[in-house]
């Protein structure tokens, strides 16, 4: 089972536990009303955090794949189509809430393009619209 599948399974189990504890108090506790609120809240919060982590992992996988395809051609200019795909993935990565992902994407955009179009995805999208022809086959 892959890490992604295991994470999704764990998220489903956590949501299931949250629903269960809404209707059935944990055994051995004297105040079921409080626990019916606390336990589901903890399970749902944990599940949402795991989903965000999973989304970031998937996004970083795409980013790493695009960068590897470019860097694997050391000494040879990357194919325009590969560079265009990498630029699009990197621009998308600028929208994430993860600061490390944004910094890495920005650094790689500047390295690949030789340009400094700003810090945000909107600024880079505007730059890419104007310079897209350079990266077509």
Q: With 70 as the cut, is the pLDDT of residue 130 above it?
A: yes
Q: Where are the domains of the chain?
A: 3-135
Copy the structure tokens of residue 99. 């600061």
**What pLDDT was estimated at residue 123?**
92
Per cent of the chain over pLDDT 90 is 2
pTM reported for the whole predicted model: 0.46
127 vs 59 pLDDT, higher one: 127
As a whole number, the mean pLDDT across the chain is 76
93-112 pLDDT, tens digit per residue, is 888 887 878 888 888 888 88
73-93 pLDDT, tens digit per residue, is 555 555 555 577 788 888 888
How would residue 41 be classed by pLDDT, with cut points 50, 70 and 90? confident
Residue burial 104-134, b: 16+ Cβ < 10 Å; e: rest: bbbebbeebbeeebeeebeebeebbeeeeee
């Amino acid at each position: 089972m892959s890490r992604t599948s295991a994470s999704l399974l764990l998220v489903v189990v956590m949501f299931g536990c949250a629903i269960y504890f809404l209707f059935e108090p944990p055994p051995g506790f004297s105040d079921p009303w409080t626990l019916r609120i606390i336990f589901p809240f903890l399970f749902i919060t944990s599940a949402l955090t795991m989903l965000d982590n999973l989304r970031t992992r998937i996004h970083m996988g795409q980013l790493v794949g695009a960068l590897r395809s470019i860097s694997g051609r050391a000494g040879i200019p990357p194919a325009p189509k590969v560079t265009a795909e990498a630029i699009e993935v990197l621009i998308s990565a600028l929208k994430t809430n993860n600061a490390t992902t944004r910094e890495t994407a920005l650094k790689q955009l500047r390295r690949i393009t030789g340009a400094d179009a700003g810090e945000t995805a909107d600024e880079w999208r505007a730059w890419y619209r104007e310079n897209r022809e350079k990266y077509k086959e």
